[in-house]
Amino acid sequence: MKNILLFFLILTIPLTGCTWAAVLSDEALLDMVQKATLRYFTEGAEPVSGMALERIHFDEYSSPDIVTSGGSGFGMMALIAGMERGYVAREAGLEQLTRMLDFLERADRFHGAFPHWWNGKTGRAFSFSEKDNGGDLVETAFMAQALICLNRYLLDGTSGEQTLAERADRLWRDIEWDWYTQGGQDRLYWHWSPDYEWAMNMPITGYNECLVAYVLAASSPTHEVDSTVYHQGWAQGGDIMRPATVEGGFSLQLNHHGSVNGGPLFWAHYSYLGLDPRGLSDRYADYFEECRNQTLANRAHCVRNPHSYAGYGEACWGLTACYSVGGYFAHAPHEKTDRGVIAPTAALSSIVYTPEYSMQCMRHFYEKLGDRLWGKYGFYDAFSPTEDWYPQRYLAIDQGPIAVMLENHRSGLLWRLFMSHPDVQAGLRKLGFHSPYLEQGGTTGDGLLPEHNIEVGVSDGHLQLSGLLPGCMISLYAADGRNLRMKQAGAETERINLPAYNGTLIVRLTHADRAKLMVRKVSVF
């Protein structure tokens, strides 16, 4: 009885400074955060369409009908990860994906492009602003990367799954990227409206969150744009390059639209949910290094804390676009754009660039601030200790990157799916990109070794693999789905130190050209 009473007493201790939260392992904490964040897109989805609500507020009114195209794309990618990890039953996940595709096929589109917002029940475009009631090419790109991932994920499944894969592919192919050059100009434009046409007249130029839009425009098999559009539009004839040393002594190669220490951190997230920045480069930048240094500069600014805001520090950083004390605002590391507001999505979605620092923040947010920051769908959107401001609000475009980037950090799943698509690979090559995915067999699959030629064994605390295709990714999972170790094969034979683990070990080999090359179960004792 005493033990039972003690158990319930512990559960009633506030999260702030509590001991029970601190005992969570990194993997357990990652599981909890990823699973809770995913619920925004499953339990919290608009019930008719299955799409992501633009926002969910628990402290004030929020519209139950407005769904977002980009946020729903992020949610679709998070749902794929949830199905793969078993957070969502496959049948339930496929049912929601079917509803989402049903909605996308019947809802308003504008030369194949999606609007920023829809009414989730009717499918009618909902104006984002006065003249923004038509196609939003950037939000479309965020959904398109999800459709590409979905196609690759279900392509080799059951007949019903293959049908969904084909439907996703048709939606991707229907997007008229070339229309959004406004009559064949050497740049993409953000908006087109059937009522106002090109009145907003906003060219998409770098560097910001929009790189993936140009990659996809060049990748389209039906409505592609020429490489000149990328080099003259996005890269501004080379003017996108502006090397500089920024906060903390870190280097940035690109002009972040005048943000002296790098723009808000969502610029390092949105395009790279599917586009794998590791080893990705072109004539302008190494994109992993650009994103990593942008993240480190953002953290360095918060650690230095020139405004002496409360709460800032090594375990509490992250400036990005999010809710703010005075309304939505794009926070960045600069005197005029730092308002003392931290967004959990900033540090957590950067885990692929700064894993140790991001985990440090995750623990701080949960263990020290969880009684104010943790809710039904994971961490709330933003907070300000200076203003004692902790709103119970969520935004789809901030929750989505957390769930997706946590998965990319743990397994690389969404990266592999997106980067393995032949259209994407063709587009990257056309634009002059370099990536390990383009150097590991291309789109043909030539040279991939059949599974029966691959030998797997365990001895002396090591996993021995032979017959490998150099460049394939080796992933080790526990039976419950926890990612234990990842390594890229550098030769035909690899000897890997086994983690401290007893039981069934799942060995998965993947290749840039295929989502799955081999899965093998090995007993470890």
Residues 422 and 513 in one domain: no
Q: pTM of the full predicted structure?
A: 0.82
The CATH number of the domain holding residue 114 is 1.50.10.140
Average pLDDT over residues 467-474: 74
- The per-residue pLDDT for 444 is 30
Give residue 513's pLDDT band: very low, low, confident or very high (50, 70, 90). Answer: very low
For residue 444, being part of any structural domain is answered with no
Residue pair 227/431 in contact by the 8 Å Cβ criterion: yes
Beta strand 462-466 pairing with 455-459: antiparallel
- The per-residue pLDDT for 177 is 98
Residues 390 and 476 in one domain: no
Residue 113 carries which DSSP code? B
Instruction: Flag whether pLDDT at 482 surpasses 80.
Output: no
- How many domains would you assign to the chain? 2
Closest by alpha carbon to 339, among 358, 364, 319, 314?
319
Mean pLDDT (the chain, rounded) = 89
For residue 306, being part of any structural domain is answered with yes
Closest by alpha carbon to 486, among 466, 509, 469?
509
Residue 237 carries which DSSP code? G
Give residue 138's pLDDT band: very low, low, confident or very high (50, 70, 90). Answer: very high
Residue pair 481/410 in contact by the 8 Å Cβ criterion: no
Q: Domain range spanning residue 21? A: 2-439
For residue 425, being part of any structural domain is answered with yes
Q: Residue 207: is the preceding peptide bond cis (ω within 30°)?
A: yes
Give residue 15's pLDDT band: very low, low, confident or very high (50, 70, 90). Answer: very low
Q: How far from 277 is each of 58, 405, 415, 423, CA to CA, in Å?
A: 35, 12, 9, 18
Residues 345 and 204 in one domain: yes
Tell me how far apart the alpha carbons of residues 220 and 147 are, in angstroms, rounded to a whole number: 13
Residues 390 and 515 in one domain: no
Token pair 């926002």 is at which residue? 55
Residues 350 and 493 in one domain: no
Average pLDDT over residues 140-148: 98
Instruction: Flag whether pLDDT at 9 surpasses 60.
Output: no
Beta strand 374-375 pairing with 125-126: unpaired
pLDDT digits (tens, 9 = 90+) for 184-199: 999 999 999 999 999 9
Residue 394 main-chain phi, psi, to 5 deg: -125, 150
Three-class secondary structure assignment of 281-324: ECCCCEHHHHHHHHHHHHHHHHHHCCCCCCCCECCECCCCEECC
Tell me how far apart the alpha carbons of residues 259 and 30 are, in angstroms, rounded to a whole number: 32
Calculate what percentage of the chain has a pLDDT beyond 90.
76
Residue 458 structure tokens: 């365990």
Domain boundary among the residues 407, 439, 471 is at 439
Residues 399 and 502 in one domain: no
Residues in the chain: 525
Residues 416 and 470 in one domain: no
Residue pair 115/452 in contact by the 8 Å Cβ criterion: no
pLDDT digits (tens, 9 = 90+) for 188-247: 999 999 999 999 999 999 999 999 999 999 999 999 999 999 999 999 999 999 999 999
Instruction: Flag whether pLDDT at 6 surpasses 50.
Output: no
Determine which helix (DSSP H) or strand (DSSP E) holds 103, and give its type and residue range: helix 90-106
Determine which helix (DSSP H) or strand (DSSP E) holds 254, and give its type and residue range: strand 250-254
Average pLDDT over residues 371-380: 98
Beta strand 117-119 pairing with 66-68: antiparallel
Residue pair 235/255 in contact by the 8 Å Cβ criterion: no
Domain boundary among the residues 418, 439, 460 is at 439
Residues 421 and 489 in one domain: no
Q: Which residues pair with 66 in a beta bridge?
A: 119
For residue 45, being part of any structural domain is answered with yes
Q: For 227-257, b where at least 16 C-beta lie within 10 A, e where not — what string?
A: eebbbbbbbbeeebeeeeebbbebebbbbbe
* 314-323, 368-377, 473-482: segment of lowest average pLDDT: 473-482
Count of CB atoms situated within 10 Å of the CB of 514? 18
Closest by alpha carbon to 172, among 96, 111, 112, 107?
112
Residues 276 and 326 in one domain: yes
Give residue 450's pLDDT band: very low, low, confident or very high (50, 70, 90). Answer: very low
Give residue 315's pLDDT band: very low, low, confident or very high (50, 70, 90). Answer: very high
- What angle do the packed helices 26-38 and 69-85 form, to 10 degrees? 130
For residue 445, being part of any structural domain is answered with no
- The per-residue pLDDT for 512 is 45
Domain boundary among the residues 439, 472, 490 is at 439
Residue 129 structure tokens: 């602003």
Give residue 11's pLDDT band: very low, low, confident or very high (50, 70, 90). Answer: very low
Residues 344 and 460 in one domain: no
For the chain, how many helices (H) and strands (E)? 15, 20
- The per-residue pLDDT for 387 is 96
Q: For residue 186, which amino acid is it?
A: D
For residue 329, being part of any structural domain is answered with yes
Residue 151 structure tokens: 């196609």
Give residue 64's pLDDT band: very low, low, confident or very high (50, 70, 90). Answer: confident
Residue pair 456/305 in contact by the 8 Å Cβ criterion: no
- Would you call 508 helix, strand, or coil by DSSP? strand
Instruction: Flag whether pLDDT at 14 surpasses 50.
Output: no
Give residue 517's pLDDT band: very low, low, confident or very high (50, 70, 90). Answer: low
Query: Which residues fall within 8 angstroms of residue 188, CB to CB, at 6 or more apart?
Result: 137, 177, 180, 181, 203, 204, 213, 214, 217, 225, 229, 233, 234
Closest by alpha carbon to 215, among 304, 262, 167, 145?
145
Query: Which residues fall within 8 angstroms of residue 70, CB to CB, at 6 or more apart?
Result: 116, 136, 138, 139, 142, 143, 270, 396, 397
- The per-residue pLDDT for 12 is 36
- The per-residue pLDDT for 455 is 82
Residues 270 and 196 in one domain: yes
Q: How far from 385 is each of 325, 381, 388, 457, CA to CA, in Å?
A: 11, 14, 5, 53
Helix segments in 174-220, DSSP class H:
211-219
The CATH number of the domain holding residue 462 is 2.60.40.10
